[in-house]
Amino acid sequence: MQTNKLKIIPLGGLGEFGMNCLALQWEDDILVIDAGLMFPESELLGVDIVVPDITYLVENKEKIRAIVLTHGHEDHIGGLPWILSEIKVPVYATEFTLAYVEGKLEEHHLLDETELIEIAPKQKFTIGPFIIEPIRVTHSLVDCVALAVETPVGIVIHTGDFKIDLSPLDDHAFDLHTFAEYGKRGVLALLQDSTNVERPGYTPSERAVRPRLDEIFSRARKKLFFSCFSSSIYRIRIAMELAREHKRKVCIIGRSMVESTEIAQDLGYLDVPTGLVINPGQMKDYPVDQLMVLISGTQGEPMSALSRAAVDNHKHARVDKGDTVVLSSRIIPGNEKGIFRVIDHLYRRDANVIYDDGSHGLIHVSGHGSQEEMRLLINLVKPKFFIPVHGDYRYLRRHAQIAMETGSVEHAIVIEDGDVLELDRDDARKIDKVTAGRVLIDSGSSIDVVEDLVIRDRRILSEDGIVLAILAINKRTGIVERTPEVVMRGFAAGDITEEARMCVMKTLDSLSGEEKTDYGMVKEKVRVDLKRLIQKSTGRRPLIMPVILEI
């Protein structure tokens, strides 16, 4: 009789959106699926990224055979440098995902010491006791796969992020046939993406945005700025095709957008005709009705290209009266304030701003399947056990409910980060809990773990001190009413207080009147410039808090 059991141990992504990471363990062999991050909430001051607590992996590092990635979004690959700095194992991913991973690892000086292995749909490979077949799925990014993992007790399928698009732009359709074949063979457990579980019906194909975007292009009379996620290769491809059809040259602005389009072009996902793309410096050589600017910053990030262009502070991207600005992405919860701040600035420039507010027609579609797609896949796979993944707890519970309603699932099991789910051919039950949670990272010059926010702030205050930059700004005019006060406590600042005050004044003088009304940008620029001055002068990294008093 079979006495050994398979363990499924989620370390991130079950109970929150982001930092997806899950371990499959059979005896002394562990396979890790995905290694994501999430971005911090606004109250996590001084934190750059949030990654899963990998204490369990570190404690069992000799058992880990590999990390396998489903696709290249940050919530699935962003934690790789953090994990690989602790654990040296091979990384398996598709060609496009590996291109993103290479750039990320090179940035953290981990590329030379990491073995990267390319995988492809329908090509099985073996890691320890696991036989893995990648299955083509469609998503908002290209080259995405689900993973069918053959274990000694049965087949486990992890969908990764998916929607069922049977007519994607690259003609690599969702592989329903292979999922159905596994359903006929018998599947022990299905782990399915829960992101859109609250949305009824089906998620439209990526092609569905083209008619509305075509209409926008045809009506634009001056420059057209197009912003989307830099990883949305399908959307970028549609924008470039429409630019060519409407006889517009394309200028690409923003580091992430430039990198993504270069990778997509190199790997054949973007076919860019010669002469279509111009350098930013060439924009002045063309009439305004013959230009499309592909620009990053769709989520209102304070120092992104679009945010700077919105306040007329970008070297090349200038938004003028009558220009059209399209934000072809969803508003991620938590980013509303920054996005609407940018939109306000764009309206001040008399631009025609089109964003996903429900009234402009379809300019964005989700990359995640809705309820009917979830039901379709469940009915094809017919798993014995169903395990929802990716999402807040209420999403997981709702997803389990939908799975049971299909009648194709024997048991739906909701687990969270740290739970140990043990399975054999007949039974599945939670038996234990391992260390799990969030690790806060300050990725300034190196990867520094913020073990606890309070402890971190106390350490900074005790060792490096605090700097308060107090700015009195007229709410109506944006004018700085009096010389800024700079208060330094907790470190030997020498005689740089006056120098710091002059630094703040210089920063404020460099801002336009409109920028001064954008307190998010004011605070960030003051903080960055003060940090640079203080580090150079004293070697310290104090907690810097710009405070704006509205007069």
**Percent of the chain with pLDDT strictly greater than 70:** 92
**What's the distance, Cα to Cα, between the start and end of the chain in Å?**
78
Q: What is the pLDDT of residue 534?
A: 86
The answer to whether residue 233 scores a pLDDT higher than 50 is: yes
Distances (CA, A) of 104 to 114, 259, 428: 12, 11, 37
Q: What is the pLDDT of residue 45?
A: 55
The answer to whether residue 74 scores a pLDDT higher than 90 is: yes
Answer for the pair 87, 58: CB distance below 8 angstroms, yes or no: yes
List the binding residues for substrate.
Answer: 364-368
Q: What is the mean pLDDT of residues 467-489?
A: 82
302: its two tokens = 């304070």
Give the chain's domains with CATH numbers: 6-201+366-440 (3.60.15.10), 206-354 (3.40.50.10710), 452-550 (3.10.20.580)
List the binding residues for Ca(2+).
Answer: 46, 48, 442
Burial class (CB in 10 A: 0-12, 13-18, 19+), 294: buried
List the binding residues.
Answer: 46, 48, 71, 73, 75-76, 139, 161, 364-368, 390, 442
Angle among Cα 386, 119, 4 to the nearest 5 degrees reads 45
Q: Which residue has the higher pLDDT, 466 or 292?
A: 292
Q: Alpha-carbon distance 364 to 514, whole Å? A: 30
Active site residues: 193, 368
Q: What is the mean pLDDT of residues 171-200?
A: 97
State the average pLDDT for the chain: 91
Q: What is the mean pLDDT of residues 346-350?
A: 96
**Percent of the chain with pLDDT strictly greater than 90:** 72
